[in-house]
Amino acid sequence: MTQQQQVQLGAPYKPFGLMPYPQFGWSYHIPFFLGFAVNSGLGARYRYQDADWTLDAAWFPEMLPPGVRYAPDTGYYGELKNTLYGPHHRQFNEKRDQLNLRLARTVKSGRWNNEFGASLAAARLVNHSSGGNGTFWAAGAHTMLNIDDWHLTSQLIRYQYAPKDPPGSDRSTILMGGNGLTPAYLIPAKATTASLNLARDLGVRWGPVSKLRFYTDYSVLWKDKKGWSDSQMETLGVQLFALPVMFWLDFTWSTNANPWGGALNATGWTSTRSAGSDKWYFRSNLNMGYYF
């Protein structure tokens, strides 16, 4: 391939929305838990990039096995071992033959360095119980605005699952799971999510620390089904750059989101009928990374 083109084989990232991360903080936000961030699949990815345009096209015949996933994806009861909450026994869906397209335009003017883009994804939704093939699709738009030490990113994503579950199943939910460190959970089959993130860099000279980045990340999930409350997450934090070492300190508030609130908020993404539904939960997180 040329300098402007490359092909990745194996388990490349699925190109979609804000990349490489959907937020500034270490604590992932709602798009991540819906499968729209740092999510890999087994397949191939093509990229064309020049000074103004970036085009990604990818095909994933299968998703990564749950045991090696980093980001969550669809799964079925017999595969996702750490399934603790809710009546998941009829959830047997798995994505196959997923196609992703992402087009981004870079616009530079004076002190501005911006990116505007759109993404599409579609897949078969194989049901291992009924033998039927449902569908999945998602469409999104994103922006990245940068001027001097200020950074503003945002995205809007609409997605829909149409599973072919056995008769009597609840087709308004989809089972998601990662590598088992977090219990599998249900998400709405139809919903819209959005995020808005703002960061400010501050140069310093504190020994090995060269820069601080203060940020606020906000995301929301609007569910189609009537009576299901919105899910929201807000993170305030600071990142310390002491390359090759970096630190993140996050303070996160969340409502109707399973990872925040645990068993008390087990139905947070969907029906919000758990004991902790519609309540705000707080979590702090300190992370250190060594990059080489």
**Domains, the chain, with CATH or none:** 5-290 (2.40.160)
Write the pLDDT tens digit of every residue in 235-273: 999 999 999 999 999 999 999 998 888 878 888 899 888
In this prediction, residue 84 carries a pLDDT of: 58
Measured CA angle at 274 (ends 267, 91), to 5 deg: 30
Neighbours of 208 (CB within 10 A): 11
Strands (E), the chain: 5-10, 41-49, 53-63, 73-74, 93-109, 112-127, 133-147, 150-162, 173-177, 185-188, 190-206, 209-223, 231-242, 245-255, 280-290
The pair of structure tokens assigned to 236 is 């305030």
Write the pLDDT tens digit of every residue in 133-144: 999 999 999 999
In this prediction, residue 53 carries a pLDDT of: 96
In this prediction, residue 143 carries a pLDDT of: 98
Write the pLDDT tens digit of every residue in 169-218: 788 999 998 887 778 889 999 999 999 999 999 999 998 999 999 999 99
**Cα separation values, 161 from 95, 133, 172, 245, Å:** 10, 11, 9, 40
Gap between the Cα atoms of 68 and 161, Å rounded:
24
Distance of CA 255 to the CA centre of its chain: 17
In this prediction, residue 199 carries a pLDDT of: 98
Give percent of the chain with pLDDT exceeding 70: 96
Q: What is the mean pLDDT of the chain?
A: 91
Write the pLDDT tens digit of every residue in 92-122: 899 999 999 999 999 998 899 999 999 999 9
Write the pLDDT tens digit of every residue in 273-285: 888 999 999 999 9
Neighbours of 244 (CB within 10 A): 9
pLDDT at 158 over 60: yes
Gap between the Cα atoms of 46 and 81, Å rounded:
33
In this prediction, residue 183 carries a pLDDT of: 81
**CB of 122 within 8 A of CB of 162?**
no
- At 197, the amino acid letter reads N
Q: Which pTM does this prediction carry?
A: 0.93
pLDDT at 81 over 70: no
Gap between the Cα atoms of 229 and 255, Å rounded:
9
**CB of 178 within 8 A of CB of 69?**
yes
- At 258, the amino acid letter reads N
Ordered alpha helix ranges (H), 8-165: 30-33
Confidence of residue 151 (pLDDT cuts 50, 70, 90): very high
The pair of structure tokens assigned to 148 is 């001097």
Residue 277 DSSP one-character state: T
Confidence of residue 20 (pLDDT cuts 50, 70, 90): confident
Distance of CA 243 to the CA centre of its chain: 26
- Exposure on the CB side of residue 155, measured as CA atoms within 13 A: 28
